[in-house]
Structure 1
Amino acid sequence: MFPRTIGPQRGESGQAAVESALTLPLTLFLILGTLQLFMMLQGRVMAEYAAFEAARAGSRHHGDCKHMAHAALAGLLPSIVPYLGNGTPGSTPEEKLAMAWRQRVGSTENPDPRYLPGVDGTHDGPVFWLVREQPLSADVPHPEDFRFDAPFQEGGGMRLEVRLIYWFPLKIPFADWVMSHMFLASLGLRDFNGANPLMLARRQAGWKAGKSPRSLDDGIREELVSRLAARQYVFPIQATHGMRMMTPARARHFQNQNCGSAPQSL
């Protein structure tokens, strides 16, 4: 009489392999998705800081978009690229920071900083949009109103209200693709019925566009869909900041309400 073999039989090991193959994508997504969410939280903090820097620069320079955009880019750089590594030219941290800033700002007169393709991943286009909520271009006096900060004015003086839309790059492979399509469905922008990467046994994901009220402006929605179609996995993080003007707003800086490539309809 032969002794019984202790351990998994051939059928049991095959079942374990199938179960592992079915659950591995979900396990992998939980790990990578968690890392990506933490990076988005960091991006949110950096966007808040960049909005503050943009408002501060604008209040000191008559609402000039150039100074606002340059200040915002300096605040966002740490979440865009690890510029202290060997990939950025320079021998000191200060030189590396200056070079990383200069590469994305294009020129000292460029009010629309852009991603650097190949270094910032596959992303292209503006790093952020700057929207000046207040003052409105139609309300900016010409010539300058030197009583802009008079305490007897309504509201206590002129204020600069800034909204920054940071096109945060999703950099974690696999998680960026899955989360981008989930975002589109949850924001009510597009259904996704392709193969479900989280459940290999399902041929269609069945991610339906949400029915919740619109939470994004039309210009932001269109840009998000366009970038995803180009396989640029980004997410719009919005931050606002307001500050009392330290210098009077100049009409020549408010020929357009918003800065750079930001749609004027926002």
Structure 2
Amino acid sequence: MRRARGQAAVAAALTLPLAVFMMLGTLQLFALLQARILAQYAATRAARAGSVNFGSCKAMEQAAIAVLVPVLDRGFAREAPGVDQARAFWRAYDGSRDNTFEWPGRAAGTPATPVVWIDRRKPDFRGGGVAENEWSWPTAGGGLDFRHLEIRMVLWAPMQIPFANWLFARLALARWGLMDFTGVNPYAPADGTVTWSAESGALAVPGAVATELRRATLAKTYTFPVEVSAVVQMMSPPRWGPRQCWTGGAP
């Protein structure tokens, strides 16, 4: 009987970490899948908002954040349908309307986590001879397309499932060649030390995205970049303005 108990304890010690990861990892994976679906819808809504607002980056940013409230704060869905739920939705949106996600317990001095980065790829007036604050329809020339609004959006989906968030972030950094990991195997501690590094043919991550992903992981504010795009026809004259809606530099 004592030997059987000892064997059961050893078996539990070997399999429990993997079982815990399977449960938590599944929850985190489905949360990211939901974020991916909402991100595509948010990009479409953002592009439509921009098309009727002269390609305004601010209008697109706010439209995207409103759609992404379920990713940022799921608490409002627990309220009773009606006025209470509407108020809870507004509180959740108002907390992120400055395009930041406030992590609980964020250390003082740690930069806030962005919600979305939006890159307005078209209309792109750089080098097109269009004056600043031009409101009329420019004459297309030099291969420039002023009739379509094309955006690329990066959603920084917050990962809030314990253990799984750290593991997903470290795996992404290692497999994308951004930061190797050497330490005890989190899947099976009994296996000892493992090293995770870049895979052959790893995804090429843009510089600004790689920098933000490293910063967030080191600050223990775990996020995952979800990239989507959308194209719509302009419904208002495009106005010259900054190509990016974020201050992190070119992707």
TM range (shorter): 0.7 to 0.9
Distance 1:105 1:156 in 2: 31
TM-score for the superposition, normalised by structure 1: 0.82
- 1:62–1:210: structure 2 CA closer, same or farther, 3 Å change rule? same
Task: Select 1:257's aligned residue among 219, 243, 247.
Answer: 243
Distance 1:119 1:57 in 2: 34
8 A Cα contact 1:115 1:123, kept in partner: no
Distance 1:181 1:156 in 2: 40
Task: Select 1:126's aligned residue among 114, 135, 139.
Answer: 114
Task: Select 2:14's aligned residue among 11, 17, 22.
Answer: 22
8 A Cα contact 2:137 2:238, kept in partner: no
Cα RMSD for the two superposed structures: 2.8
- 1:157–1:129: structure 2 CA closer, same or farther, 3 Å change rule? closer
> Structure 2: which 5+ runs fail to align?
none
> What does residue 176 of structure 1 align with?
165
Distance 2:148 2:105 in 1: 37
> What does residue 137 of structure 2 align with?
146
Distance 1:147 1:117 in 2: 43
- Structure 1 counterpart of 2:93, which letter? W
> What does residue 101 of structure 2 align with?
115
- 1:262–1:158: structure 2 CA closer, same or farther, 3 Å change rule? farther
> What does residue 53 of structure 1 align with?
45
Distance 2:243 2:89 in 1: 30
Superposition deviation, residue 116 in structure 1: 2.3
Task: Select 1:198's aligned residue among 187, 190, 194.
Answer: 187
Superposition deviation, residue 141 in structure 1: 3.0
Render the CA deviation track for 1:67-108: whole Å, top value 9, x for unaligned. Answer: 111000001111110242689xx95222222222112114xx
SS at match of 2:224: strand
> What does residue 72 of structure 1 align with?
64
SS at match of 2:195: coil
> Structure 1: which 5+ runs fail to align?
1-8, 107-112
8 A Cα contact 2:46 2:61, kept in partner: yes
8 A Cα contact 1:163 1:241, kept in partner: yes
> What does residue 136 of structure 1 align with?
124
Superposition deviation, residue 114 in structure 1: 0.6
SS at match of 2:190: coil
- 1:80–1:140: structure 2 CA closer, same or farther, 3 Å change rule? farther
Task: Select 2:74's aligned residue among 65, 72, 82.
Answer: 82
Q: Between the two proteins, what is the percent identity of the paired residues?
A: 35
Distance 2:236 2:158 in 1: 35
- 1:140–1:128: structure 2 CA closer, same or farther, 3 Å change rule? farther
Larger Rg: 1
8 A Cα contact 2:122 2:145, kept in partner: no
Distance 2:12 2:167 in 1: 20
TM-score for the superposition, normalised by structure 2: 0.87
> What does residue 241 of structure 1 align with?
230
- 1:86–1:42: structure 2 CA closer, same or farther, 3 Å change rule? closer
- 1:52–1:140: structure 2 CA closer, same or farther, 3 Å change rule? farther
